[in-house]
């Protein structure tokens, strides 16, 4: 649902009866839910709009848009921010996790390309050893952007790959290691346990590792992404979210739900397929794109 569609569903209720009534509130909440804002967040936004409406004579959509934008701005102002600070020990170890099909490997490549362009020494860890061709896909990306990758044969123990990648990174005086983990369903306890094992391996080899854990969520999955995220936050120590496929057709309201309901920052958003199409999340720009 695009930003115009969010409010189009409300417009008829506003026009049928000039002024502000419960029907408009109900239509607004329905529109927000359809935009994947999430039940708790939609209710909070509508409540805020209702409280602010006393200062206005609401007769048209632009005034309703103004009130909603003010509420979204408030939510974003209160949301946690993603901060990247240099870890005490090198290399910095970053786990990239999520379910299959969200774009984890491509996200790893885009992050690595950005760091390499900034002059950082990057090592990629091909720890997704179960998905067919996953290691080859990461190798192709590594060759394209000019960074090294540590890999084992398909079906190898991911923790063993991680161990070797961290040892190699230390010997090469690397600045950062991106760990491309296997896609796993949040409901599969054995796979989540494997991820916990990898965290222990990383901590033994590098103090404080993993220093970041990025959860990749496909924006088109909507509020199902919240269900995924809650389980990963519990088991994987997620520090921030990367939201992929947030292009013109994606329903970006899930960003608000992540910030409000999960209390976790959105670090990056993917807006296309090229290496340059992963950009830091900017709250003000997002609010404008969603409503203006």
Predicted pLDDT at 266: 92
pTM (predicted TM-score):
0.88
Residues 172 and 117 in one domain: yes
Residues 13 and 105 in one domain: no
Say if residue 61 is in the same domain as residue 177.
Answer: no
- CA-nearest of 1, 2, 29 to 13 is 29
111 and 71 housed in the same domain: no
CATH code at position 215 = 3.40.50.300
Digit-coded pLDDT (tens) for 140-199? 999 999 999 999 988 899 999 999 999 999 999 999 999 999 876 655 667 778 888 999
Using the predicted structure, report yes or no on whether residue 271 has a pLDDT greater than 70.
Answer: yes
Residues 125 and 57 placed together within one structural domain of the fold:
no
Q: Is 163 contained in some domain?
A: yes
Out of 6-15, 46-55, 190-199, pick the least confident.
6-15
Beta pairing partners, 220? none
- Domain coverage including residue 228: 92-291
The verdict on 194 and 251 lying in the same domain is yes
Whether residues 278 and 193 fall in one domain: yes
- Residue 288, pLDDT > 50, answer yes
* Tokens found for residue 181: 């983990």
Let me know whether 124 and 268 are in one domain.
Answer: yes
The total of structural domains in the chain comes to 2
Judge whether residue 2 has pLDDT over 50: no
Instruction: Give the pair of three-digit tokens for residue 58.
Output: 């609401």
- Asked if residue 290 lies in contact with residue 73, where contact means CB atoms within 8 angstroms, the answer is no
């Amino acid at each position: 649902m695009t930003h115009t569609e969010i409010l189009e569903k409300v417009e008829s209720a506003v026009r049928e009866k000039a002024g502000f009534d419960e029907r408009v509130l109900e239509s607004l909440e329905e529109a927000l839910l359809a935009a994947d804002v999430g039940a708790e967040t939609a209710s909070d936004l509508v409540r805020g709009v209702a409280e602010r409406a006393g200062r206005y004579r609401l007769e048209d959509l632009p005034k309703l848009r103004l009130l909603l934008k003010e509420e979204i701005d408030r939510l974003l102002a209160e949301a946690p921010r993603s901060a990247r600070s240099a870890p005490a020990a090198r290399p910095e170890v970053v786990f990239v996790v999520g379910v299959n099909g969200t774009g984890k490997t491509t996200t790893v490549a885009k992050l690595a390309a950005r760091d390499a362009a900034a002059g950082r020494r990057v090592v990629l860890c091909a720890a997704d050893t179960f998905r067919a061709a996953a290691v080859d896909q990461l190798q192709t990306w590594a060759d394209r952007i000019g960074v090294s990758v540590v890999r084992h044969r398909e079906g190898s123990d991911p923790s063993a790959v991680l161990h070797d990648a961290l040892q190699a990174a230390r010997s090469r005086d690397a600045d950062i290691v991106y760990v491309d983990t296997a896609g796993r369903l949040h409901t599969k306890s054995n796979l989540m346990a494997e991820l916990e094992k990898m965290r222990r391996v990383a901590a033994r080899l590098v103090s404080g590792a993993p220093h970041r854990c990025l959860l990749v969520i496909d924006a088109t999955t909507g509020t199902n992404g919240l269900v995924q995220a809650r389980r990963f936050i519990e088991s994987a120590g997620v520090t921030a979210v990367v939201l992929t496929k947030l292009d013109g057709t994606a329903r970006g309201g899930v960003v608000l739900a992540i910030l409000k309901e999960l209390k976790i920052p959105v670090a990056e958003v993917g807006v296309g397929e090229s290496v340059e199409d992963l950009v830091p999340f900017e709250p003000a720009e997002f609010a404008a794109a969603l409503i203006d």
